[in-house]
Structure 1
Amino acid sequence: MLRIFTAIVCTLMIVAGTVTPHGTAATPDKLSRNHQPFELNIMHFNDTHSHLDNVAKRVTAVKEFRKKKPDALLLDAGDVFSGTLYFNEFHGKADLEFMNLMRFDAMTFGNHDFDLGSTPNGHQALVEFIKGATFPFVSSNVDFSKDEKFAGLFTEKISAHPRNGHIYAGIVKNVKGERIGIFGLTTAETKVISSPGKITFSNYIEEAKRMVAEFQKRGINKIIALSHLGFDDNPAVDNDLELAKAVEGIDIIVGGHSHTALAKPVLIHEKAEPTVIVQAGQYGEYMGTLNVTFDENGVIVKQDGKLIPIAKQAADPEAAKLLKKYSDKISKVRNTPLGATAEEFLDNPRTLGDHSKPSVRKNETPLGNVITDGMLAKAKQYSPDVIMALHNGGGIRAPINKGEITVGEVIEALPFGFTLATMKITGAELKQAFERSLESYPREDSGFLHVSGAKVKFDSSKPAGKRVISIQYFDGEKYVPIQDDKTYTVATNTFTAKGGDGFDVFRKIYKEGRITDLGLSDWEILAEHLKKLGKVHPKVEGRIVDVAD
């Protein structure tokens, strides 16, 4: 039975207009106190990653829920960008048209929303996405000020009257006469797992405490954190569980990043008042719903929610017609036969919060093997000394179905446009890289390295940083141990080679000029390799083995 928490009633003063989260003086007005319970309804999505094939059904789900709860908020917890041909072709414009159609109330930014930062145009597509939105964005721990492209779009203020197409630290929504505070948080890992460029990130707990205090100064006691931190992601960096435990006053966390499908809301009650956490999986496969009841002091006394399967919805006719103008443009690429056949389904598994399950971000997979095999074969054409190829699990985004393989499937498996690079690296440095790769196990980690041309043994029972037991590479006849003091040539993608996903050892090598970018697209390398194979049936071969298992 849900425990009912009693809050200490404080005298809170209403502040009119806009204030900064650094403590602008307030003018007393009147007490903000409800005299009867208040029900708030929320619809939420996260990590849609430009998966638009089901978007017309998402529109239906939103419309049907609004018929029952016309005052429900519609929120997005980030990572709209990157992952499919829709994004490769339209750079968020297609996604935005449907978000505007669904009438979102607010969105925060995910790490992948900054993926284009290292491209020649930088974050121009993101800027255009923001400007075109018919809703505001919330982002309290992200500093856009050093990137001139965002000039005039971002303010560190809380606004009770936010403008569409602008970014605020927080906003105030009026729902049935009650004021709701909403602020946004983005994982600090963005700086190493994406390409934010000049954009920087501050401590999520400090910013959350500051935002709660500022809302409370306004007399607002119903507060939502729109979070792209991950439900139970790396606690040493940030996640929603740690946020709920550390910050008093957050009533609801609408989450994203970890792709966790929380069938029911999770209640955290380690503080005086409870915090409810929700997250809706990935790719728009579910619409999350939440209904909460606040007592007269703004304390949640009742909550329930569920995930609505989108596949079971009928397609909204208006949205289906709108989708066709985008889907027709990409269908030719998506359906072009590659000239190869997958003998088995090449899965791209994720744990979705269950760390006992296999994942592309912690286990060797057949798809990861065939990707790195193609990289190694191509790299050897340019440098015969290359001994192995590495690819980060976070860069592998979609499976390849059994049967005839299409060009679209290959692009969606490797959608980020990384190029192939070779690097000169010592055996000791290579060991450091694999220690980084395996430090989170059995948790998922986007920096988990798939490998070709080598075998790695590790012991997950050992502390992080001391897990690698052995690394061997194939010398043409047999597998031989890596020597710490010897220099080798290995291949990887440019994102990882430049230090992405927290590979500080690679970043050092890059700065020292020991990396050569071959300028060859990763998906084109995979396509070429698959065509050469013809019949594709890679297996798990014991390339990465945990001796503790």
Structure 2
Amino acid sequence: MYLLKPYLYLFLLFCAISVGIKAQKKELLIIHTNDVHSQIEPTATDDTQPDMGGTLRRQVVIDSLRNTGKAVLLIDAGDAVQGTPYFTTYHGKAEIALMNRLKYDFITPGNHEFDNGTASLATMYKDATPVIVNCNYDVSNTPLKRYFTPGVIKEIGGWKVGITGVGVALKTSVDPEKVTGIICRDAIVSATRTADSLKRCGAEIVVLLSHLGIEGDKELARKSCGIDIIAGGHSHTLLPTPIPVINKQQDTVWIGQTGKRGLYVGVIECKGDTRRGYTIDLSSRYDNRIDSVTAALIDSYRIPMQKTTGEVIGNALKPMTVGRPQSPLSNFTADVLVQQARKEGIPCDFGLINIGAIRCDIARGAVTKGDILSCYPFDNYICHISLPGREVKRLFRIIASRGGEGISREVELTLSPDRKIKRLAIGGKKIKPRRIYHITTIDFTANGGDEMTPLTRHRKRIDTKTRLCDLMTAAFGETTIREGGVSASTDRRIIYK
């Protein structure tokens, strides 16, 4: 019943703005991006593609498609922010200014848009020209109320296009304190009801901006009705071409997603009953056509920022990658947590860092403050937890099911191919259910983030004022002075067997 009034309002709104549309040739290009994560400048992907992405190259592709004379709808499926010093420094102002400059039509928030809280996000959206769509977040009791729209119908390319958006459950992906007042509705139910309202008001196709991840998008497509195209995000999945999924009415839903960090742009062509899609990689071949006005806008943010972020604070003796089941950077981070606890005189059996807290790799060579800010962009603080052994076992079952997290060298975890625990030891010994274990982690996981709910059932918790970013800045510097640089290994702390 809670949906009745909002959807009645939507129905009348949709009908009102859809009246009087004339028949035109139905041809439309939908350009979609997702999970750019504040990657305003080009970035290295790997040795074969060392220079990809960037706002300027994206603009060249978008403008080229617009110059074909075809109607273009430019949309983003969330996590446009968080991941480089641009967001840490300007809190989304730079990203929104550039989305305005590129003339995005519609955007939906991802989970990372909420990292600084609802008031900060409202400030970020204050100057946004794209329409912000979401139908499964009730933000009526937050500062975001005036900025969110459940859905819109837009006449473009001879089509009446309905646009709506959905997002992932926030309380497991964002610090709960940052999303106080937001009610997250079921995404499938909300999207289906909104699509139905849009179709009843004359929408011929419905485009869903989704931040659920590829598996969530597939499930939504199968179980929903009325949605024709899903521009997805959250899982950082690169789909070279959109994938088809059959819905409840035996209609085809097309799902597209463009990976992460703005390395690619996705395009879905709608021409009559035909759908065709592809991705375009943003390489240096576009650099001779960059827009000088946009370049100057970027410089207005980049140059002041680099006065602090360009300082070299350490050295990496090898590429410090991050990933599952274990990786050099996540291992090093977890080991640093243990070292910090012992410096403070606090007992520590092992360190734990969620992989999601580390946002990128660090290349071999000089390490700057900006590199550390890019890797550890969140406002996370060090936290010490005392936990019964039975809860530690539950914790590691969750870690196993997720394919691994960052754990310190005191832990030996052997997993089966189906992510079941075959062997678990801490300090070379099996876990005793009644013993109290001491864990050093960050406040996000201590609050149950990334499914780490056993940590909330602690016997004791000590919160500190030490930020993870500051701790890792010091660790890189001290290790470089002591050992000439950082070179963490991937040992046997998490293995599959």
**Structure 1 length normalisation: TM-score?**
0.81
Q: Secondary structure at the match of 1:470?
A: strand
Paired residues of 1:387 and 1:453 also in contact (CA < 8 A): no
Query: For residues 17 and 377 of structure 2, what CA distance do their matches in structure 1 show?
Result: 53
Quick one: which of 209, 225, 236 aligns to 2:208? 225
Paired residues of 1:84 and 1:412 also in contact (CA < 8 A): yes
User: Structure 1 pair 310/187, CA: closer, same or farther in 2 (3 Å)?
Assistant: farther
Paired residues of 1:191 and 1:200 also in contact (CA < 8 A): no
Query: For residues 60 and 397 of structure 2, what CA distance do their matches in structure 1 show?
Result: 47
Quick one: which of 265, 268, 283 aligns to 2:261? 283
Query: For residues 16 and 93 of structure 2, what CA distance do their matches in structure 1 show?
Result: 44
Paired residues of 2:85 and 2:370 also in contact (CA < 8 A): yes
Paired residues of 1:494 and 1:517 also in contact (CA < 8 A): yes
2:494 aligns with 544
Paired residues of 1:41 and 1:73 also in contact (CA < 8 A): yes
Quick one: which of 28, 39, 48 aligns to 1:40? 28
2:144 aligns with 150
| Residue type at the aligned position of 1:76 | D
| Residue type at the aligned position of 2:111 | N
Query: For residues 62 and 85 of structure 1, what CA distance do their matches in structure 2 show?
Result: 25
**In the alignment, is residue 471 of structure 1 matched against residue 424 of structure 2?**
yes
- Structure 1 residue 347: Cα displacement: 1.7
Query: For residues 525 and 25 of structure 1, what CA distance do their matches in structure 2 show?
Result: 51
2:454 aligns with 505
Quick one: which of 412, 423, 429 aligns to 1:456? 412
Paired residues of 2:85 and 2:373 also in contact (CA < 8 A): yes
Paired residues of 2:341 and 2:348 also in contact (CA < 8 A): yes
2:51 aligns with none
Q: Secondary structure at the match of 1:457?
A: strand
Query: For residues 483 and 30 of structure 1, what CA distance do their matches in structure 2 show?
Result: 65
| Residue type at the aligned position of 1:93 | K
Bigger helix share? 2
Quick one: which of 374, 387, 399 aligns to 1:412? 374
Query: For residues 55 and 27 of structure 1, what CA distance do their matches in structure 2 show?
Result: 36
2:285 aligns with 312
**In the alignment, is residue 102 of structure 1 matched against residue 102 of structure 2?**
yes
Paired residues of 2:316 and 2:486 also in contact (CA < 8 A): yes
User: Structure 1 pair 24/311, CA: closer, same or farther in 2 (3 Å)?
Assistant: same
Query: For residues 23 and 450 of structure 1, what CA distance do their matches in structure 2 show?
Result: 48
Query: For residues 413 and 240 of structure 2, what CA distance do their matches in structure 1 show?
Result: 36
Query: For residues 540 and 71 of structure 1, what CA distance do their matches in structure 2 show?
Result: 50
- Structure 1 residue 21: Cα displacement: 6.6
2:59 aligns with 59
| Residue type at the aligned position of 1:250 | I
| Residue type at the aligned position of 2:30 | I
Query: For residues 94 and 502 of structure 1, what CA distance do their matches in structure 2 show?
Result: 32
**In the alignment, is residue 491 of structure 1 matched against residue 464 of structure 2?**
no
2:351 aligns with 389
C-alpha deviations, 1:308-359, integer Å up to 9, x for none?
Answer: 4254322321111111111111212322111x321111123xxxxxxxxxxx
Quick one: which of 316, 324, 328 aligns to 2:299? 324
| Residue type at the aligned position of 2:282 | P
- State the number of aligned residues: 470
Paired residues of 1:61 and 1:310 also in contact (CA < 8 A): no
Query: For residues 440 and 336 of structure 2, what CA distance do their matches in structure 1 show?
Result: 11
| Residue type at the aligned position of 2:286 | Q
Paired residues of 2:331 and 2:409 also in contact (CA < 8 A): no
More displaced stretch, 192-201 vs 386-395:
192-201
Quick one: which of 461, 468, 484 aligns to 1:522? 468
| Residue type at the aligned position of 2:8 | T
1:428 aligns with 390
User: Structure 1 pair 26/106, CA: closer, same or farther in 2 (3 Å)?
Assistant: closer
Quick one: which of 130, 134, 137 aligns to 2:132? 137
- Structure 1 residue 133: Cα displacement: 0.7
Q: Secondary structure at the match of 1:72?
A: strand
Q: Stretches of 4+ moved more than 6 A in 1?
A: 21-37
Q: Secondary structure at the match of 2:172?
A: helix
Tell me the percent identity: 27
Query: For residues 263 and 90 of structure 1, what CA distance do their matches in structure 2 show?
Result: 33
User: Structure 1 pair 499/167, CA: closer, same or farther in 2 (3 Å)?
Assistant: same
C-alpha deviations, 1:86-123, integer Å up to 9, x for none?
Answer: 00000000001111111111001101111112xxxxx2
| Residue type at the aligned position of 1:183 | T
| Residue type at the aligned position of 1:102 | L
| Residue type at the aligned position of 1:536 | V
Paired residues of 1:248 and 1:272 also in contact (CA < 8 A): no
| Residue type at the aligned position of 1:543 | R
Query: For residues 25 and 408 of structure 1, what CA distance do their matches in structure 2 show?
Result: 46
Q: Secondary structure at the match of 1:20?
A: helix
Structural RMSD (CA)? 2.5
C-alpha deviations, 1:238-262, integer Å up to 9, x for none?
Answer: x111111111221110111111111
Query: For residues 26 and 365 of structure 1, what CA distance do their matches in structure 2 show?
Result: 50
Query: For residues 374 and 488 of structure 2, what CA distance do their matches in structure 1 show?
Result: 19
1:267 aligns with 244
C-alpha deviations, 1:255-311, integer Å up to 9, x for none?
Answer: 1111111111112235432111111111111111111223xxxxx334233324254
2:44 aligns with none
Query: For residues 268 and 21 of structure 1, what CA distance do their matches in structure 2 show?
Result: 31
Query: For residues 148 and 16 of structure 2, what CA distance do their matches in structure 1 show?
Result: 28
Paired residues of 1:105 and 1:136 also in contact (CA < 8 A): yes
Quick one: which of 127, 131, 152 aligns to 1:171? 152
